[in-house]
């Protein structure tokens, strides 16, 4: 079982490369980038995994400050499990101290849901992570809503946010980053009661 001194591995899920940067599927990367700004560091290539990582601390100075490894897997989304598991093992992070930040089709745009464990709901990044290390990691689910009309899910998640969505996106990414900080400082139940909408 994990304890308060164990590090946390915070993983933003997405696809590498500039052509994917503003896609709905890359909202996990957007939140990880904002957390990196808050930590005050830059992502570097990991030695031990196909990922970019940043080590630092999140939270106020003192006993509530948590040691974190922020990560963005540089595999494609459906292969995220390999890099995440390699980082978990290298940094000796308990699985229940792994947090995946990802887009979620079954939640309205901009809504958040935090949870521990559960299914993958058809999300290829989660499917790959669960296959590699089991389901008992935290998820910060960022709602992107369902595709309009008959648009295929794959096309929808690989499209950029609409201009209407982009108006709110900065605020919503900020709120998602806040929810990660709350999860680490206050625990899952308090973070859920504040941020689950």
Known catalytic residues?
A: 25
Determine the Cα–Cα distance for residues 132 and 128; give it in Å rounded to an integer. Answer: 6
> Helix count (H) and strand count (E) of the chain?
6, 7
**Cα 111 from chain centre:** 14
Beta carbons of 113 and 101 less than 8 angstroms apart: no
Please give the C-alpha separations between residue 140 and each of 118, 120, 163, in angstroms, as whole numbers.
Answer: 12, 12, 24
Tell me the HSE value of 159 on the side-chain side, using a 13 A CA sphere.
16
């Amino acid at each position: 079982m994990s304890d308060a001194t164990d590090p946390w591995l915070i993983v933003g899920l997405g696809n590498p490369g500039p052509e994917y940067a503003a896609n709905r599927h890359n909202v996990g990367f957007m939140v990880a980038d904002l957390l990196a700004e808050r930590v005050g560091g830059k992502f570097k290539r990991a030695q031990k995994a196909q990922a970019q990582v940043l080590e630092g601390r999140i939270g106020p100075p003192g006993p509530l400050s948590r040691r974190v490894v922020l990560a963005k897997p540089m595999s494609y989304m459906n292969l995220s499990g390999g890099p995440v598991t390699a980082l978990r093992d290298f940094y000796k992070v308990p699985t229940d101290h792994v947090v995946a930040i990802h887009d979620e089709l079954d939640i309205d745009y901009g809504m958040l849901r935090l949870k521990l464990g559960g299914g993958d709901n058809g999300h290829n990044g989660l499917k790959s992570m669960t296959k590699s290390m089991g389901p008992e990691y935290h998820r910060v689910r960022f709602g992107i809503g369902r595709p309009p009309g008959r648009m295929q899910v794959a096309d929808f998640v690989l499209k950029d946010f609409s201009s209407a969505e982009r108006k709110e996106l900065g605020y919503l990414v900020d709120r998602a980053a806040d929810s990660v900080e709350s999860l680490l400082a206050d625990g899952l139940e308090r973070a859920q009661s504040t941020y689950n909408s």
